[in-house]
Structure 1
Amino acid sequence: MSKLLTVAMPCYNVETYLERGLSSFADPRFSDDVEVLIVNDGSTDSTKEIAERFVAAYPSIFRLIDKENGGHGSGINAGIAHATGKYFRIVDGDDWVATENLVLLLERLRGIDSDIVVDERREVDMSSMEGDVIRFPDYIETDRELRFEDVCNERDTESSITIHTLTTKTELLRKRGIRIREGIFYVDYEYIVKATSFANTVTFLPIELYQYLVGNANQSVAAENWVKRYAHHETVVREMLLFAESDGFSEPVGRYVTRKAQLIVNTHYNVLLIFDKDRKRGMRRAREFRLWLEKSHPRFAALTARRYRQAAVLHYLGVDADKLARIKGR
């Protein structure tokens, strides 16, 4: 490995945002330790030209990987394949990092050998450009190496491990042959679960690094987009169920993976029964999915039966995505 950290930046038509993201890495202090792989996923705007400009100006930091369009998962896969860093992480093309805090992270990574490292993020509203740092809960022990199986089921610890806060040993990703589904949305969840489930050790660092832009109606997590791409989400659900029923996990990690699979099934119930404004279509799809789940994965059908009934009741009461958010206090 020639670098300490590889940052993969999957990019598709992000000319509006890309310069801000790349500029946050364009610092001579990163020349020896950081490589940013700009994965141009078949963009049709000026994304490639912007990337080429940064490669020319900072060739020791930036590399351009130009490929045909294959979706976010293909960008992650390309990043893993081309990485030369001891550690690997992902920054989307419309987001950026806090440059000075990246300096701090690199200082810590030099003295760490954990399989995964988790830091903190800031969610930035795209209208006001203001936002809040999502801090670790008080019960998470920071600044020391922990066994992953000792903490992965502790309260809500796993909610702090997101694609925006996760740094993983490149060797672990390759040794386990981790590849993400291509050509679909919602693969972030797949990456998080697969990248963490094989980790023996983890270190939590209270460093705010990732600057996550929120409030864009075109984001894949917007309720209407969940419905439009429900088949994509269902593909990830099925992948997670297969992964959860594979062998080789310790008992604590097995519980962690089971819970993660259960959570994404519950989210799918929301997509079908609550987010879809065409209530009849949503119910039909939910029943079809439920029948498949009972036949193919009866253990998870039993684990999620109560949540299915709850979502069905909310469906009949006319609860939609906005009402559900209010119920949850969001």
Structure 2
Amino acid sequence: MGKLLTIAMPCYNVEAYLERGLGSLADDRFADDLEVLIVNDGSTDSTKEIALRYVESHPTIFRLIDKENGGHGSGINAGIAHAAGTYFRIVDGDDWVDTDNLATLLDRLRSIDSDIVVDEKREVDMGSMSGSLVELPAYIEVDKELQFADICNLHDTESFIAIHTLTVKTSLLREHGISILEGIFYVDYEYIVKATCFADTVTFIPLEIYQYLVGNANQSVAAENWVKRYSHHETVVKELLRFSETDGFSAPIHEYLVRKTQLLINTHYKVLLIFDKDRRRGASRAKEFRLWLKREYPAFAALTAARYRQALGMHYLGVDAARLDAIMGR
């Protein structure tokens, strides 16, 4: 492996944003240590042409992987397959990084041997371009290698391990044959869970790297899109339920995996019963999913029964995505 870090950048029709993302990575300081794989996922706009300009101007940093459209998961899978870096992480085509802090991270990675490394992100509002830093909580020990099993169930530590903050040893991804579902949305969660469950060690670094653009109505996490793509989300839920039966995990890791899967099921109840403006359709879909869950995974049905009843109650009270945000103070 000739590079310290591979960044895979899955791209589909991101011509409006790509210059900013690639520009934040086009720094001569990165020539020896960083590889950026621009995965063009069958774009029909000028994404490929923009990418080629960076490949030509910084050939020691950028490589273009040109492929047929297969969704975000296929972009991640292509990145893992082609990565030449010791470590691997993902930056989406409409986001960017803090260039100077990435240089610091690369310097830190030279002396780190943890399976995973977790840093910090900034959420940047698309309209105002103002940002809010999502800092690691004070209870997490930073700049020190920790056993992942010791901290994965500590308070809400797992909520700070996101696709935007996670760096993983490439060898770990390959040795365990980690592959992500293709052709659907919401696979970020799948990637996080699968990559972290096999980790023995972790280092947390209080360093802002990822600049995450939020507020785009086209984002997959917008309420209307959750509903439109509910079957995608349900497919990811079922994949994690399948993965939860993997043998060989220690008790703490199994507990972590069960909780992550449980949280995803709870989100699915919310999508069906609260986000869907067609209340009858949402209730019907939720009932069908709930019956399937009771039949196939009764333990998870029991674990999520209270949240199902809660979501059902809010459904009948007419709570929708906007009212839920207000209730939650968002």
TM-score for both structures, normalised by structure 1: 1.00
Structure 1 unaligned regions, length at least 5: none
Amino acid in structure 1 at the alignment position of 2:208: E
Q: For residue 328 of structure 1, report the CA deviation from its aligned partner.
A: 1.1
**In 2: Cα distance, 1:14 partner to 1:289 partner:** 34
Number of residue equivalences: 330
1:75 matched to 2:57:
no
The equivalent residue for 1:308 is: 308
The equivalent residue for 2:56 is: 56
Secondary structure of 1:252 counterpart: helix
Secondary structure of 1:212 counterpart: strand
The equivalent residue for 2:34 is: 34
1:208 matched to 2:202:
no
Secondary structure of 1:249 counterpart: coil
Secondary structure of 1:10 counterpart: strand
Q: For residue 246 of structure 1, report the CA deviation from its aligned partner.
A: 1.7
The equivalent residue for 2:150 is: 150
Q: For residue 250 of structure 1, report the CA deviation from its aligned partner.
A: 0.2
**In 1: Cα distance, 2:306 partner to 2:25 partner:** 47
1:282 matched to 2:260:
no
1:291 matched to 2:291:
yes
Q: 1:111-150: per-residue Cα shift (whole Å, max 9, x none)? A: 0000000000000001111111100111011000000000
The equivalent residue for 1:328 is: 328
Amino acid in structure 1 at the alignment position of 2:159: S
**In 2: Cα distance, 1:136 partner to 1:49 partner:** 38
Amino acid in structure 2 at the alignment position of 1:3: K
Q: For residue 329 of structure 1, report the CA deviation from its aligned partner.
A: 1.1
Q: For residue 325 of structure 1, report the CA deviation from its aligned partner.
A: 1.0
Amino acid in structure 2 at the alignment position of 1:31: A
**In 2: Cα distance, 1:14 partner to 1:301 partner:** 39
The equivalent residue for 1:165 is: 165
Secondary structure of 1:264 counterpart: helix
Matches within 5 A, 1:101-180: 101-180=101-180
The equivalent residue for 1:188 is: 188
**In 2: Cα distance, 1:324 partner to 1:141 partner:** 34
Q: For residue 326 of structure 1, report the CA deviation from its aligned partner.
A: 1.1
**In 2: Cα distance, 1:245 partner to 1:297 partner:** 10
Secondary structure of 1:310 counterpart: helix
Amino acid in structure 1 at the alignment position of 2:163: I
The equivalent residue for 1:223 is: 223
**In 2: Cα distance, 1:328 partner to 1:154 partner:** 23
The equivalent residue for 1:43 is: 43
**In 2: Cα distance, 1:310 partner to 1:60 partner:** 53
Q: For residue 48 of structure 1, report the CA deviation from its aligned partner.
A: 0.1
Q: For residue 216 of structure 1, report the CA deviation from its aligned partner.
A: 0.1
Amino acid in structure 2 at the alignment position of 1:33: D
Amino acid in structure 2 at the alignment position of 1:274: I
Q: 1:215-242: per-residue Cα shift (whole Å, max 9, x none)? A: 0000000000000000000000000111
**In 1: Cα distance, 2:256 partner to 2:144 partner:** 21
**In 1: Cα distance, 2:290 partner to 2:127 partner:** 39
Segments ≥4 residues shifted beyond 2 Å = none
Aligned Cα root-mean-square deviation (Å): 0.4
TM-score for both structures, normalised by structure 2: 1.00
**In 1: Cα distance, 2:70 partner to 2:236 partner:** 16
Q: 1:74-125: per-residue Cα shift (whole Å, max 9, x none)? A: 0000000000000000000000000000011011100000000000000000
Q: 1:175-207: per-residue Cα shift (whole Å, max 9, x none)? A: 000000000000000000000000000000000
Secondary structure of 1:143 counterpart: coil
